[in-house]
Structure 1
Amino acid sequence: MNKLLITILLASISSNIFAQVAFHNAGNVQIHDQGQVGFHIDVINDGTFDNNLGLAGFYNTANSLTVSGTSRPVFHDLEVDVPNDLFLEVSVGTDNFQQFVNGRVITPRDQKNVSFDYLNDAPYDGENDDRFVDGYASVQGDLDFTFPIGDDYRLRPMSIDNQSAAIASKGAYFFENPNSPNYFSDNFNTESRAATLFNISIFEFWDLDGDVETGVTLTWDDNSNIPTLVDDLNDLRVVGWDIETEKWVNLGNVSTTGNMDSGSITSESIIPSKYAVLTFGSSSNLLDGDLEIFTAISPNGDNLNDSFRIIGLAEFPNNEVLIYNRWGVLVYSQKQYHLHQETNGFKGISDGRATINKDEKLPEGTYYYILKIDGSEDRSGYLYINR
């Protein structure tokens, strides 16, 4: 059995066997239980190399190493000890445990399909500012997961909930200005933002890909320059570049830890695929933490307070506004009010509900509004029409 295994391994080495340029698998290779294989040269995988047990390690103290080929190798236990870094030109997976000893695992940031993959909830250890995945990492499993990602010798983890990990999520960190990203075809203008946001970080951002709803936790350090965004961490927000509206939108602040120099913030539940990238932003604690509702209108045609306005409502697109007169008669209703408030919002004119005639100007006085937002308690209050 030992002779057979050695023959298979030798047959898969590159044809230039004496120079030992690379370990080249063009067939079917397997590391058996309790087996230990160390790669001190590059690996080219053009065959089957994904049903492994035991330990595989990448070791080279003098040079970098590269994994390439047409097929993803998947290792059981995996160790990386390459001070000059392990470069991936094809995805590499681990399905039991991965250890960072020396060096980074570097993936091409302009090729999202190449990543370092943590399968079956595979944990890792040993990560720090010199040892992490520099590029894209992915996860698939049943547990919460923290991506060991970074850039420019800075580990900057990002965490997701277990339900998102169940259907494969992928992420990377970029220490660069979102206004001029190096690896994206579009830029993410920090001046294009929702009304409740005041500032967007120009120092860094994350890319998170996934179609399952999850809370996202981002981390910062002293190079994140959080004091340029907020004086109080309660005003810090996770923000995302909304692909549909091409604006930065508020993704919330469920909790924060740490201080201005280091810490973390968790967003509300989001679907990552709706947002091109994520970073930090700032927003003041307005009414109910997210909205500013103007409760008086003067529809006299001077373009000042002519319609009922709710700043920040665009961040809650599944909404409806209902307005009643003092006798409880519905005089106006509109779903997705944020799409209408600037051009066709409530201007003191009935939209024809109940016994009120359509297009009738409503008299001055006190009215009552109800704002419905999916997933949130109704918000209500008094609205005044002053002609």
Structure 2
Amino acid sequence: MLGLSLQAQIGLYHSGNMQVHGNLGFHINFINDSAFDQTQGLVGFYGDNVIQVSGNIPPTLWDAEVMLDNNMFLENTVNVQNNFNFIDGNILTPKSDQAVYLNFMDQGQFSGESNLSKVTGFAAVNNRDFFFFPVGDQNLLRPLTLNSESVSPLSICAYFFENPTNPSSITENFDVEQKVRDIGTVTDREFWIVQSDAPAQVTIGWNTRSALGLIPNATFESIIAVGWSKASNQWVIIGNSSTSGDLTEGFLTTKTFVPSEYAAITFGTIPLPTDTFAVNNPTLGNYFLSPNGDGTNDFLVIDGMEESPNNSLIIYNRLGQKVFEKVNYVNEFYGVANAGSLYLNQEMGLPEGVYYYLATLNDLGLEYTGFLFLDR
């Protein structure tokens, strides 16, 4: 390692040419003011205190992990080339600055995200068309899944458990009363910021803390995705392609929209659809699968597949890797991969988490997409 010095008790200051080919552990702050992009080892952040990463040049890490009793605060973007392991402690970024984020590069991925360890601020991804953002607030993981129609050079996302009308961590505000007439109510509990120039669908969920049941006259069927339009400075309807759950807990996938045209997205309500098209053309839903042999939700049963025996089903994991494929599908998926090279021991089953499916009903000329949650 060259060009390293300790500035008083501030931390490790890098102004030369540092490379990591083994393991390097940080227990103090890291100030990076020189190229740090040839790493092939593991860089860990450990200890009892908050660790700050600052400087003028973003460090690029191959593998990284965080295990902190407190948090890791980014004043400078950190790039991840291969894998970031969330063990303990949140990754904080300035929520008022969308240019600072934990950035997953072209092949970057992560593991271990949880309520105890996630990005509390902005996460980003480069050159992807599908990504699961491990974002949340101080207490809860509140992820967002981005499924784009094309590769986007840069996509960013953050979650805010704050009133959009008067958020505490950003200077912008999104008045929940400033909305188009077709929206009944916009929640005042939470919102996401997601920015990407490629048309996309996103999936977001609600829980008991979201308190959608407290919205007057709200029903599960009336929950819909809404976004703060940058063009009109008001909440407008984005719309749902599918929903799953109930009024207490569930998730929805939006219709296709361009995220960068909206400053924020969240949940709203509208009256139940009564027009003929909406009634006669329902979308397929999101699904819950728990293959534990109890006879309930052991297999993935897709609504309406029996109406089109000439069909196909493909399932992808959150990284966009194909894990299951079947022509003429008849309820065969029970959480075990039959495609792809990621899982060498197929009989161990796929790990718990969110998966994306593509169902093609050739007889009916229809194609549906959605998500399923695999519970172990």
State whether structure 2 residue 14 is matched by structure 1 residue 25.
Answer: yes
Q: Distance between the aligned counterparts of 1:276 and 1:251, measured in 2?
A: 13
Q: Distance between the aligned counterparts of 2:53 and 2:190, measured in 1?
A: 28
Corresponding residue of 1:12: 4
Bigger radius of gyration among the two: 1
- The one-letter code sitting in structure 1 at the alignment partner of 2:61 is F
Deviations 1:39-69 (A, max 9, x none): 1111110001122112111111x21111010
The offset of 1:191, in angstroms, is 1.6
- The one-letter code sitting in structure 1 at the alignment partner of 2:104 is Y
Secondary structure in structure 1 of the residue aligned to 2:209 = helix
- The one-letter code sitting in structure 1 at the alignment partner of 2:113 is E
Secondary structure in structure 2 of the residue aligned to 1:234 = helix
- The verdict on how the C-alpha distance between 1:100 and 1:164 changes in structure 2, with shifts beyond 3 A counting, is farther
| Contact 1:137–1:147, Cα closer than 8 Å, also in 2 | yes
Name which of 21, 39, 45 aligns with 1:58: 45
Q: Distance between the aligned counterparts of 1:209 and 1:67, measured in 2?
A: 24
Deviations 1:67-119 (A, max 9, x none): 01000001111101112000111011111111111100010111111111111
- The one-letter code sitting in structure 2 at the alignment partner of 1:158 is L
Richer in strand (by share) = 2
Corresponding residue of 1:107: 93
Q: Which runs of 5+ in 1 are unaligned?
A: 292-387
| Contact 2:11–2:31, Cα closer than 8 Å, also in 1 | yes
Q: Distance between the aligned counterparts of 2:78 and 2:235, measured in 1?
A: 33
- The verdict on how the C-alpha distance between 1:121 and 1:166 changes in structure 2, with shifts beyond 3 A counting, is farther
Q: Distance between the aligned counterparts of 1:143 and 1:243, measured in 2?
A: 23
Q: Distance between the aligned counterparts of 1:69 and 1:290, measured in 2?
A: 56
- Listed as ranges, the matches of 1:197-276 within 5 Å are 197-229=183-215, 231-276=218-263
Secondary structure in structure 1 of the residue aligned to 2:103 = strand
Q: Distance between the aligned counterparts of 1:14 and 1:290, measured in 2?
A: 67
Deviations 1:218-250 (A, max 9, x none): 121110012134643222111001111122111
The offset of 1:263, in angstroms, is 2.1
Q: Distance between the aligned counterparts of 2:20 and 2:27, measured in 1?
A: 16
Corresponding residue of 1:172: 158
The offset of 1:139, in angstroms, is 0.8
Corresponding residue of 1:281: 268
State whether structure 2 residue 40 is matched by structure 1 residue 48.
Answer: no
State whether structure 2 residue 138 is matched by structure 1 residue 141.
Answer: no
- The one-letter code sitting in structure 2 at the alignment partner of 1:265 is L
- Listed as ranges, the matches of 1:343-382 within 5 Å are none
Corresponding residue of 2:330: none
Corresponding residue of 2:366: none
- The one-letter code sitting in structure 1 at the alignment partner of 2:4 is S
Q: Distance between the aligned counterparts of 1:278 and 1:164, measured in 2?
A: 21
| Contact 2:142–2:205, Cα closer than 8 Å, also in 1 | yes
The offset of 1:287, in angstroms, is 4.6
Q: Distance between the aligned counterparts of 1:289 and 1:213, measured in 2?
A: 27
Q: Distance between the aligned counterparts of 1:189 and 1:289, measured in 2?
A: 33
- Listed as ranges, the matches of 1:34-45 within 5 Å are 35-45=22-32
- The verdict on how the C-alpha distance between 1:202 and 1:28 changes in structure 2, with shifts beyond 3 A counting, is same
| Contact 1:25–1:46, Cα closer than 8 Å, also in 2 | yes
State whether structure 2 residue 75 is matched by structure 1 residue 75.
Answer: no
- The verdict on how the C-alpha distance between 1:54 and 1:282 changes in structure 2, with shifts beyond 3 A counting, is same
The offset of 1:148, in angstroms, is 0.7
Q: Distance between the aligned counterparts of 2:276 and 2:78, measured in 1?
A: 43
The offset of 1:182, in angstroms, is 2.3
- The verdict on how the C-alpha distance between 1:63 and 1:160 changes in structure 2, with shifts beyond 3 A counting, is same
Deviations 1:304-352 (A, max 9, x none): xxxxxxxxxxxxxxxxxxxxxxxxxxxxxxxxxxxxxxxxxxxxxxxxx
Q: Distance between the aligned counterparts of 1:239 and 1:222, measured in 2?
A: 19
| Pairs aligned (count) | 277
Q: Which runs of 5+ in 2 are unaligned?
A: 279-376
| Contact 1:196–1:290, Cα closer than 8 Å, also in 2 | no
Secondary structure in structure 2 of the residue aligned to 1:152 = coil
| Contact 1:168–1:210, Cα closer than 8 Å, also in 2 | yes
Corresponding residue of 1:369: none
Q: Distance between the aligned counterparts of 1:76 and 1:162, measured in 2?
A: 26
The offset of 1:142, in angstroms, is 3.0
What TM-score does the superposition give when structure 1 sets the normalisation length?
A: 0.68
| Contact 2:90–2:138, Cα closer than 8 Å, also in 1 | no
